[in-house]
């Protein structure tokens, strides 16, 4: 009897360990997602009875200029910040893994601090920096003679997107640097020693050894950045409020506006579901492209 008890404990132990995660996943992810799918086929404004409308919300979404504008905004912000951010992260990671680099722990901390600092606090600081009349950035550029009149960073569509991109670069470069640093430190030193014996300098070693071996990790960072770009909310919401003229309205900001400003819960759920499918397809395409290149 005791042997049966211990055998049951041994077999059931893994399920007890994963049970908290499964329960939390069902409560906080699966059930809300299922309810959103249900709401996406209904018209509901939060109080009255839900009205089943079939695919009407999806037809409205596909015809909506606001939704496609939010997708275009995300693509433009992605193009503005992801290449710059990954390039900076890779350069910083390569420098911090070099043998000649001193105070590596200090610099790792400095680069990573923006990522663990409250995004709300950082956004308000950048709100002051980009202020057209009293912002320090315009004052510096004008005092250096680079500008004759201040740039309306947050009041013109193009500069508003650039401002959001700069804020995202500042916040996420350190995070990606840490990921890439782990990858660089995993590369065998013997490869660099062999390249050095063959006469390769530091730049050639980086180009022909580090970069090819980091391709998979760069693909991972690119996919994370893609999902992060289309899911941007706090940065554009605080910095520009999604404006001007919806220039920085991302799909998540649009979902927020439809849900809590227009109280159009059914349509907001439709955007969420369509956005989820779109991101899943985009991630699969990116994985396929990077796999083919390998």
Task: Report the predicted TM-score, pTM, of the whole model to 2 decimal places.
Answer: 0.81
Q: Token pair of 113, please? A: 């601090």
Mean pLDDT estimate for the chain:
86
Give the pLDDT band (50/70/90) at residue 293: low
Question: Which of 14-18, 198-202, 288-292 is the least confident region?
Answer: 288-292
């Amino acid at each position: 009897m005791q042997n049966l008890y211990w055998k049951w404990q041994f077999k059931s132990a893994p399920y007890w360990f994963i049970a908290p995660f499964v329960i939390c996943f069902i409560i906080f992810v699966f059930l809300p997602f299922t309810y959103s799918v249900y709401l996406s086929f209904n018209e509901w404004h939060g109080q009255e009875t839900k009205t089943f409308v079939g695919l009407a919300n999806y037809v409205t979404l596909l015809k909506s200029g606001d939704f496609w504008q939010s997708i275009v905004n995300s693509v433009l912000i992605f193009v503005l910040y992801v290449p710059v951010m990954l390039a900076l992260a890779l350069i910083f990671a390569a420098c911090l893994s070099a043998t000649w680099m001193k105070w590596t722990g200090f610099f790792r901390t400095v680069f990573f601090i923006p990522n663990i600092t409250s995004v709300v606090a950082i956004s308000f600081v950048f709100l002051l920096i980009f202020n057209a009349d009293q912002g320090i950035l315009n004052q510096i550029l004008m005092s250096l003679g680079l500008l004759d009149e201040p740039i309306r960073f947050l009041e013109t569509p193009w500069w508003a997107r650039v401002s959001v991109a700069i804020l995202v670069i500042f916040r996420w470069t350190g995070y990606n640097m840490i990921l890439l640093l782990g990858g660089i430190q995993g590369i065998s030193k013997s490869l660099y020693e062999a390249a050095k014996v063959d006469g390769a300098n530091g730049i050639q070693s980086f180009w022909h050894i580090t970069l090819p071996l980091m391709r998979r990790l760069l693909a991972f960072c690119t996919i994370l950045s893609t999902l992060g770009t289309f899911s941007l909310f706090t940065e554009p919401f605080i910095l520009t409020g999604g404006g001007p003229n919806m220039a920085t309205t991302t799909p998540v900001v649009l979902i927020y506006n439809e849900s809590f400003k227009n109280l159009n819960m059914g349509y907001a759920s439709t955007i969420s579901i369509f956005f989820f499918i779109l991101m899943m397809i985009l991630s699969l395409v990116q994985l396929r492209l990077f796999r083919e290149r390998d």
